[in-house]
Amino acid sequence: MKSSKQRKKEIQAKRVHKKESLLSNGMKKQQILIDPSRLSEKSQRSLGIPEYYIDEIIKCTDCDVSFLFSAIEQKEWYEHKKVYFWQRPIRCEFHYHEWLRIKKMKKEMDRNLAILESEPDNKKLMNICADSITEYHKGTQNGNIKKAMELYNKLNLKNDNYLYCKKQS
Protein backbone atom coordinates (compact mmCIF):
# COMPACT_ATOMS: atom_id res chain seq x y z
CA MET A 1 0.00 0.00 0.00
CA LYS A 2 1.34 3.43 -0.94
CA SER A 3 1.53 6.34 1.45
CA SER A 4 -0.51 9.46 0.70
CA LYS A 5 2.70 11.35 -0.15
CA GLN A 6 3.72 8.68 -2.66
CA ARG A 7 0.23 8.67 -4.18
CA LYS A 8 0.18 12.50 -4.39
CA LYS A 9 3.57 12.49 -6.10
CA GLU A 10 2.38 9.82 -8.54
CA ILE A 11 -0.78 11.78 -9.42
CA GLN A 12 1.21 14.96 -9.88
CA ALA A 13 3.71 13.19 -12.15
CA LYS A 14 0.82 11.89 -14.30
CA ARG A 15 -0.64 15.40 -14.61
CA VAL A 16 2.71 16.87 -15.60
CA HIS A 17 3.30 14.06 -18.11
CA LYS A 18 -0.13 14.73 -19.62
CA LYS A 19 0.61 18.48 -19.93
CA GLU A 20 4.04 17.78 -21.43
CA SER A 21 2.62 15.34 -23.97
CA LEU A 22 -0.07 17.86 -24.96
CA LEU A 23 2.58 20.53 -25.49
CA SER A 24 4.88 18.19 -27.41
CA ASN A 25 2.03 16.86 -29.60
CA GLY A 26 1.60 20.14 -31.41
CA MET A 27 -0.71 21.88 -28.99
CA LYS A 28 0.08 25.56 -29.13
CA LYS A 29 1.70 27.00 -26.08
CA GLN A 30 -0.48 29.64 -24.50
CA GLN A 31 0.66 33.22 -25.00
CA ILE A 32 -0.50 36.19 -22.93
CA LEU A 33 0.57 39.75 -23.59
CA ILE A 34 2.82 41.26 -20.91
CA ASP A 35 1.83 44.59 -19.39
CA PRO A 36 5.26 46.10 -18.51
CA SER A 37 3.67 48.86 -16.40
CA ARG A 38 2.33 46.22 -13.96
CA LEU A 39 5.72 44.56 -13.37
CA SER A 40 7.81 45.29 -10.26
CA GLU A 41 10.13 48.30 -10.42
CA LYS A 42 13.16 46.04 -10.53
CA SER A 43 11.65 44.05 -13.42
CA GLN A 44 10.82 47.24 -15.32
CA ARG A 45 14.50 48.25 -15.16
CA SER A 46 15.52 44.82 -16.46
CA LEU A 47 16.59 44.35 -20.07
CA GLY A 48 15.13 41.88 -22.53
CA ILE A 49 11.57 41.54 -21.26
CA PRO A 50 9.65 39.70 -24.02
CA GLU A 51 6.24 40.76 -25.34
CA TYR A 52 4.39 37.62 -24.22
CA TYR A 53 4.25 35.16 -21.36
CA ILE A 54 4.64 31.69 -22.86
CA ASP A 55 3.99 28.32 -21.16
CA GLU A 56 7.25 26.84 -19.85
CA ILE A 57 8.18 23.36 -18.70
CA ILE A 58 10.42 23.50 -15.60
CA LYS A 59 12.08 20.65 -13.69
CA CYS A 60 11.66 20.49 -9.90
CA THR A 61 15.00 20.67 -8.07
CA ASP A 62 13.78 18.26 -5.38
CA CYS A 63 12.20 15.42 -7.40
CA ASP A 64 13.32 16.06 -11.02
CA VAL A 65 9.69 15.90 -12.18
CA SER A 66 8.84 18.41 -14.89
CA PHE A 67 5.95 20.78 -14.32
CA LEU A 68 4.17 23.43 -16.35
CA PHE A 69 4.66 27.09 -15.46
CA SER A 70 1.73 28.39 -17.49
CA ALA A 71 1.41 31.82 -19.03
CA ILE A 72 -1.51 32.52 -16.69
CA GLU A 73 0.62 31.61 -13.64
CA GLN A 74 3.42 33.82 -14.94
CA LYS A 75 1.07 36.78 -15.29
CA GLU A 76 -0.08 36.23 -11.69
CA TRP A 77 3.51 35.94 -10.44
CA TYR A 78 5.00 38.90 -12.22
CA GLU A 79 2.15 41.40 -12.51
CA HIS A 80 0.15 40.72 -9.34
CA LYS A 81 2.65 39.28 -6.85
CA LYS A 82 5.43 41.53 -8.26
CA VAL A 83 8.06 38.76 -8.38
CA TYR A 84 11.25 39.73 -10.25
CA PHE A 85 10.71 38.88 -13.91
CA TRP A 86 13.74 36.62 -14.41
CA GLN A 87 12.97 34.55 -11.30
CA ARG A 88 11.38 31.15 -12.00
CA PRO A 89 9.83 28.59 -9.66
CA ILE A 90 12.30 25.83 -8.81
CA ARG A 91 9.96 23.39 -7.06
CA CYS A 92 6.80 21.58 -8.11
CA GLU A 93 3.69 22.48 -6.14
CA PHE A 94 4.03 19.54 -3.75
CA HIS A 95 7.66 20.28 -2.87
CA TYR A 96 7.01 24.03 -2.70
CA HIS A 97 4.38 23.47 0.01
CA GLU A 98 6.69 21.03 1.79
CA TRP A 99 9.47 23.66 1.70
CA LEU A 100 7.08 26.28 3.13
CA ARG A 101 6.03 23.90 5.91
CA ILE A 102 9.66 23.25 6.89
CA LYS A 103 10.51 26.94 6.69
CA LYS A 104 7.58 27.75 9.01
CA MET A 105 8.62 24.94 11.37
CA LYS A 106 12.19 26.32 11.58
CA LYS A 107 10.99 29.87 12.19
CA GLU A 108 8.76 28.67 15.04
CA MET A 109 11.58 26.55 16.48
CA ASP A 110 14.03 29.48 16.38
CA ARG A 111 11.46 31.79 17.99
CA ASN A 112 10.84 29.32 20.83
CA LEU A 113 14.57 28.81 21.39
CA ALA A 114 15.07 32.59 21.61
CA ILE A 115 12.31 32.83 24.22
CA LEU A 116 13.85 29.89 26.11
CA GLU A 117 17.10 31.83 26.43
CA SER A 118 15.27 34.53 28.39
CA GLU A 119 13.21 31.98 30.38
CA PRO A 120 15.61 29.06 30.94
CA ASP A 121 13.54 27.45 33.73
CA ASN A 122 10.23 27.33 31.84
CA LYS A 123 9.55 23.58 31.68
CA LYS A 124 6.63 23.84 29.27
CA LEU A 125 8.79 25.86 26.88
CA MET A 126 11.66 23.37 27.26
CA ASN A 127 9.31 20.58 26.18
CA ILE A 128 8.00 22.61 23.22
CA CYS A 129 11.56 23.43 22.11
CA ALA A 130 12.79 19.85 22.44
CA ASP A 131 9.80 18.57 20.47
CA SER A 132 10.16 21.22 17.76
CA ILE A 133 13.89 20.49 17.35
CA THR A 134 13.10 16.78 17.05
CA GLU A 135 10.28 17.29 14.54
CA TYR A 136 12.46 19.64 12.48
CA HIS A 137 15.22 17.03 12.48
CA LYS A 138 12.81 14.31 11.39
CA GLY A 139 11.78 16.43 8.40
CA THR A 140 15.18 17.77 7.35
CA GLN A 141 17.95 15.79 9.10
CA ASN A 142 19.05 19.20 10.46
CA GLY A 143 18.59 20.61 13.91
CA ASN A 144 20.52 20.39 17.17
CA ILE A 145 19.63 16.91 18.43
CA LYS A 146 22.09 17.30 21.32
CA LYS A 147 20.16 20.39 22.49
CA ALA A 148 16.89 18.42 22.32
CA MET A 149 18.46 15.57 24.33
CA GLU A 150 19.73 18.08 26.90
CA LEU A 151 16.23 19.54 27.27
CA TYR A 152 14.57 16.11 27.55
CA ASN A 153 17.13 15.12 30.21
CA LYS A 154 16.46 18.34 32.19
CA LEU A 155 12.76 17.48 32.09
CA ASN A 156 13.48 13.83 32.87
CA LEU A 157 11.20 12.97 29.94
CA LYS A 158 11.58 9.67 28.07
CA ASN A 159 8.98 9.86 25.29
CA ASP A 160 9.13 8.74 21.61
CA ASN A 161 10.92 11.94 20.58
CA TYR A 162 13.54 11.35 23.28
CA LEU A 163 14.10 7.82 21.94
CA TYR A 164 14.40 9.23 18.42
CA CYS A 165 17.05 11.74 19.59
CA LYS A 166 18.94 9.04 21.46
CA LYS A 167 18.96 6.84 18.37
CA GLN A 168 20.21 9.74 16.18
CA SER A 169 23.04 10.85 18.50
Give the pLDDT confidence of 21-47 residue by residue, as tens digits.
Answer: 555 555 567 899 999 999 999 999 989
pLDDT band at 16 (very low <50, low <70, confident <90, very high): low
pLDDT exceeds cutoff 90 at 84: yes
Span 46-50, mean pLDDT?
90
Give the pLDDT confidence of 54-78 residue by residue, as tens digits.
Answer: 999 999 999 999 999 999 999 999 9
Quote the pTM value.
0.70
Which residues have CB under 8 Å from 65's CB, separation 6+?
9, 12, 13, 16, 59, 92
Span 92-105, mean pLDDT?
94
* pLDDT of 1: 66
**Contact (CB, 8 A) for 137 and 148:** yes
Of residues 29 and 126, the one with the higher pLDDT is 126
pLDDT exceeds cutoff 70 at 107: yes
Span 92-101, mean pLDDT?
94
Kindly state the percentage of the chain with pLDDT values over 70: 88
Of residues 24 and 165, the one with the higher pLDDT is 165
